[in-house]
Structure 1
Amino acid sequence: MDAVNGLSHRSRFGHRAWWVAAAALLAIVVAGAFSTLPGLLTGPLHREFGWSRGSIGLAASANMVLYGLTAPFAAALMDRFGIRRVVVVALLVIASGAGLTTVMTTAWQFTLFWGMLVGLGTGSMATAFGATVTQRWFVRRRGLVTGVLASGSVFGQMVFLPALSWTVDHHGWRTSLVTLVLAACATAPLMWLMLRDHPADVGRAPYGAERLVPKPLPTEGAGRRAVAVLRDAAGTAPFRLMAGAYAICGASTNGIMWTHFTPAAHDHGMPATTASSLLAAIGVFNVIGTVASGWATDRRDPRRLLAVFFALRGLILMCLPLLMSATVQPSMMVFVVTFGLLDLATVPPVIALCREFYGDAGAVVFGWVGAAHQVGAAMAAYGGGAARDAFGSYTPVWVTLGALCAGAALLSLLVRRASPADRSAGRCLTAVDHL
């Protein structure tokens, strides 16, 4: 019995699934670093080229839309060509887009290079990528692993943001972009060596499975499959409810915070480097909150978790205009901790619901739900800049997004649980008839 227990212990912690998850986490961390740049570039680009905040926000919006729209197609491409190939190509596309951004001279080039190329590359390593890895390699600990991988993007922001902010201040914005280009290029060969597409490739069962799982045949017509999954899912109420709530999620997180928090704090006299450090601190608690959310998702009703997360986020966003000042006050640190814990905590419950309702297509469905997230983020990125230009303040933006989060909490509660029969068949149980 001791020998068996020892073997079980070694198998648990030496399983190849954990190494694949670690490799996926590294790729997500590097890709996540690129999302920190728009907030840091707004001031320098405005001063150097004279571009309005709205035009700069347009490039960030294009980036976010493509980030979201790419995810479901990338998940389908992973079914067709494998995880490893898609991730390596995505890293090279990101490096190309960021490198070309350093030689741009017009706003439309910023939209093309940063908005389109970087958006396509980072979208291929969005949370749908993490959902694909988790679904293939794990049977047990799915919620926990999902939380860890989902936190990787913000962890990348946390790791790179202070250094990038310092680099922008002391060596210019182009140097900060070159730093990220080198990071992406260095990560690509590591992904080719470390990632594997399926447990069957190394003769192992998924973590927590009792037997080997055959590797499915490559899925032909990845684009057609992604569109077909959207068509089928869009006719169901849970998808529409989750997409609506997740659009608000995107608007109230990376859409506004990672693009406009630093300029908003600077409006109140706070140095950009200090505001960037606050965003990095949010990233620290983001990791904690997302992992804790994954742990809770393994044990609690995902719908109720979502409702609580949205309600609390809305409340603290409405309070944010009262907390802004030239210096970091204790009340701002309370905001940083609370918002950080809630920021990406919505990801594990939504992935769990997509898997519950849509079975093997859950990763692709989540990619489409994530697309709604990024559409909401893009609207906030552009609308936040436009509102600042029009009203001279970000206050109306914070209050509006706080109110929308209350609506997202209600949408989350409208999603009903799938029955055991529907769950085993991977079919969707409509939540609200003829919604």
Structure 2
Amino acid sequence: MVGVACGASPLPFITIGFFIDPLQQEFGWSRTEISLGVTIYGILAALLAPVFGGLADRHGVRPVALGSLAIFGLTFAAFAVVPGELWAFYLVWLMIGLFGIGSTPVTWSRAVNLWFFKQRGLALGLMLVGTSISAIVLPFLTTYFITHFGWRTAYALLALLPLAVALPLGILWFREPRPEERPPGVGAASDPSALPGRTLKEAMSEGRFWILWTSVALITLAYAGALVFLPSMLKQREFDPTSVATVLSVFGLSIFAGRIITGLLLDRFWAPLVTLPILCLPALSCWMLMGDAPLGLAMAVLAAFLMGFASGAETDLIAYLAGRYFGMKSYGQIYGVQYMAFGLMAALSPTLYGWVRDTTGSFDPMLLAAAIIFLAGAFLLLLLGPYPDFSRDSKTPNRTASSEG
């Protein structure tokens, strides 16, 4: 949980929205130019996710995740000394993309999937609560640091989260289960290739693999840019910095709620049916955020809550469905390729939102498109079909609609 909270998944994305205005004021960069850094990071992270997932499959999660966490923290601190040149700003994002992906759920979730089977949904939800904690704490922390110490010092202080908090805890206490400690349904083989499930090649030959990939891509495209530019959307609706931080913290609380509640439901019911109504909620958020008239705090909080709840559910869903539909044989690689959809769209979405705002003067056209995209991604998951049962034969699994192991 702590590794996820302080890793390269939440920290850059949650904080960048608070640095946009200071960077614009100091260097004169546009929103599109600043958000392009997130795009560079996201594309590299997406492309390298299967590589880091494969390393975790072969060598274990501990060396991959902790090594990546250390490099990510040092690289994130480099924002504090970046000069007023865009190429230098982009170089830092490039380095985070090259080395930070190992500190994301791509690696951590493999360990959780090996520890749990029947309560896997809840376990993954609790692990991913780390990003919820970040989404709750980081808006206030980032706002405080920037206001009192300036944006450069703020970056240096935020870099202490992976370096001085998560890394020492991981070195002391994090490990994967030994074969004899794994629960029934996971497999007790010491050789990862002997675990039940699909290889990456086998998984990619199934239509459901690409159904899941496409759904993840659509939903992430719709919400990632909204998260990055939510502070800007609220400021143009006459919210002060403290109110913006309050709304963003509610967003974090709703991610927490979405992950826990969705995790509990995933352990009891068929996942696509559970998430259909949840993933439709952000379409309403997009409608609420459209327009330039002053927006009441209660409405802003509700919009943030609905979008955050769905965001929490989606991230939990990727890790859960990768294990349930394709097993643990090549989980890291399979999850990594699925994460590519998340990473690529998380990279593209902020640039797309920023471009629409810069060219039209409003976020409304993008918010309208996002509402439609949310609905499409949610309904697409219904095509996944029943879960395979890898307990007897990983090559020719029996099929069951039950979510129980």
| TM-score normalised to structure 1 length | 0.82
Query: In the alignment, what sits opposite 2:96?
Result: 118
Q: Which residue of 2 aligns with 1:215?
A: 190
Question: Aligned-pair distance for 1:92?
Answer: 1.6
1:230-269 maps to which residues of 2 (within 5 A)? 231-253=201-223, 255-269=224-238
Separation in 2 of the partners of 1:251 and 1:296? 25
Higher alpha-carbon deviation: 276-285 or 309-318: 309-318
How far apart, CA to CA, are the structure 1 residues paired with 2:260 and 2:172?
27
Q: Cα distance, 1:278 vs. partner? A: 0.9
| CA shift for structure 1 position 362 | 3.4
The two structures, once aligned, show a CA RMSD in angstroms of 2.7
Aligned residue type for 2:209: F
Does residue 140 of structure 2 align to residue 172 of structure 1? no
Give the deviation of 1:423 after TM superposition: 8.4
Deviation for aligned residue 1:188 = 1.7
Match of 1:385 in 2: 354
**Which residue of 1 is the match for residue 61 of structure 2?**
83
Q: Quote the Cα distance in structure 1 between the aligned partners of 2:97 and 2:190.
A: 30
Are the counterparts in 2 of residues 354 and 363 from structure 1 also a CA contact under 8 Å? no
- Counterparts in 2 of 1:407 and 1:90: CA distance versus 1, 3 Å: same
2:272 maps to 1:303: yes
Read off the aligned partner of 2:221 and give its amino acid letter.
A
2:171 corresponds to 1:192: yes
Distance 2:395 2:161 in 1: 39
- Taking the TM superposition and a 5 Å limit, the aligned residue runs for 1:341-360 are 341-360=309-328
State the Cα distance separating 1:177 from its structure 2 match: 0.9
Distance 1:100-1:118 versus aligned 2 partners, 3 A rule: same
Q: What does residue 48 of structure 2 align with?
A: 70
Q: CA deviation at 1:139?
A: 2.8
Contact 2:114 2:186 in 1 (8 A): no
Letter in 2 for 1:109: A
Deviates more, 1:399-408 or 1:149-158: 149-158
Given that residues 137 and 199 in structure 1 are in contact (C-alpha distance below 8 angstroms), is that contact kept between their aligned partners in structure 2?
Answer: no
- The answer for the alignment partner of 2:306 in structure 1 is 338
Query: Displacement of 1:117 after TM fit?
Result: 2.2
Of residues 140, 144, 147, the one that matches 2:125 is: 147
Q: Give the aligned partner of residue 294 of structure 1.
A: 263
Give CA-to-partner distance per residue, 1:383-422, whole Å, 9 cap, x none.
Answer: 1111111011111111110111111122111222245479
Structure 1 window deviating more from structure 2 (136-145 vs 230-239): it is 230-239
Residue 263 of structure 1: how far off its partner (Å): 1.2
The answer to which of 244-253 and 334-343 deviates more is: 334-343
Tell me the residue number matched to 2:403.
none
CA distance in 1, matches of 2:35, 2:187: 48
- Report the 3-state secondary structure (helix = DSSP H, G, I; strand = E; otherwise coil) of the residue aligned with 2:159: helix
For 1:381, the aligned partner's letter is P
- TM-score, structure 2 as length reference: 0.88
Counterpart contact for 1:64–1:119, Cα < 8 Å = yes
2:3 match: 27
Match of 1:161 among 115, 119, 139: 139
Return the offset for 1:55. Answer: 1.0
Q: Which amino acid aligns with 1:340?
A: G
Kept in 1: contact 2:327–2:390 (CA 8 A): no
Q: Which runs of 5+ in 2 are unaligned?
A: 400-405
